[in-house]
Amino acid sequence: MANSKNKATELSYQLTDSGASVLIVHPAFLEIPASRVLLFGDKEINGYKPYRSILIGDREIEPVSYTPEETKTTTAYLPYSSGTTGKPRGVELTHTNIAANLAQLIIADCKLGPHSITTGVLGYLNNKEATDAVFDKDGFFNTEDIVSVDEQKAVLLTHDAVSDAAIIGYYSEEEASEIPVAYITIKSGHEQSTALAKEIQCFVDEKVVPHKKLGGGVFIIDKIPKSES
């Protein structure tokens, strides 16, 4: 499951990471490569087939059965995280995760007890290091709540005028939350100006999802302060 707000770079990463072989898209996205693309809806458009055309329909197939232990380790859904702390990660939801989630919705009183079954995920697809870093041996997730700003900085440094950059969080009363602000130094041959700062801000905003945009703006300074480390 891909986020429809993702830009080309983020979406291509998810498709490569997940090993996806088929895309189901809205007809508005027909300009992307046609190879193995399926459409939402029931109509075939310019040779693009609707995803329903590959469904079983009235045909019968043998259902896939899993043992209780297999349901705990077999991935059922693969949504990707928002990428707040770096590249989006493929979150492996097992069949047991889905069943536990549904059971939780049915039970009105959801008090946790010694034998309660909690909801969770299997881990991150193809990323054992990230999985081991945040999931303990019992499967509990340590949120850490630390935001990585490396991604916006990496995009900033691809602009021809930017020589160095730093991102900080600025509390916006209007948003009632912190928003990213960029401080940059520029290369020789470029003049400091409000127009250049705005151009660089738009450059980044076009390459990231909405919640990663530089809502606090871009400011050009003479030097990025750095510690000895």
Report how far residue 94's alpha carbon sits from residue 67's, in angstroms, rounded to the nearest whole number: 13
Could you give the CA distance from residue 182 to residue 170 in angstroms, rounded to a whole number?
10
The token duo for 179 is 């928003």
Rounded to the nearest 10°, the torsion over CA 154, 155, 159, 164 is -30
Could you tell me which residue, 4 or 63, shows the higher pLDDT? 63
Question: What pLDDT score does 193 carry?
Answer: 94
3-state secondary structure of 141: strand
Q: What are the structural domains, with CATH classification, of the chain?
A: 1-59 (no CATH), 71-146 (no CATH), 150-220 (3.30.300.30)
- Identify the pLDDT of residue 183: 95
Q: Give me the half-sphere count of Cα atoms (radius 13 Å) on the Cβ side of residue 93.
A: 15
**Taking a C-beta distance cutoff of 8 angstroms, is the pair 182, 151 a contact?**
no
Q: Running DSSP on this structure, what letter comes out for residue 52? A: G
Highest mean pLDDT among 4-13, 137-146, 203-212: 203-212
Look at residue 40 and tell me whether its pLDDT is greater than 90: no
Question: What was the pLDDT predicted at 108?
Answer: 56
pTM over 0.85: no
In this model, does residue 149 exceed pLDDT 60? no
Cross-strand bridge partners of residue 91:
124
Q: For residue range 46-105, what is the model confidence (pLDDT) as tens digits?
A: 888 888 777 766 667 778 899 999 999 999 999 888 776 677 888 999 999 999 888 877
Closest residue by Cα to residue 52 from 60, 64, 65, 43: 43
User: Residue 223's pLDDT band (boundaries 50, 70, 90)?
Assistant: very high
Task: Report percent pLDDT > 90 for the chain.
Answer: 31
**What is the identity of the amino acid at 57?**
G
In this prediction, residue 54 carries a pLDDT of 75
Q: If you average pLDDT over residues 38-51, what whole number do you get?
A: 84
Higher pLDDT, 208 or 229: 208
pLDDT band with cut points at 50, 70 and 90 for residue 109: low
Mean pLDDT for the stretch of residues 119-148 = 80
> Averaged over 33-52, what is the pLDDT?
80
Q: How far apart (Å, rounded) are the C-alpha atoms in residues 229 and 220?
A: 23
pLDDT band at 177 (very low <50, low <70, confident <90, very high): confident
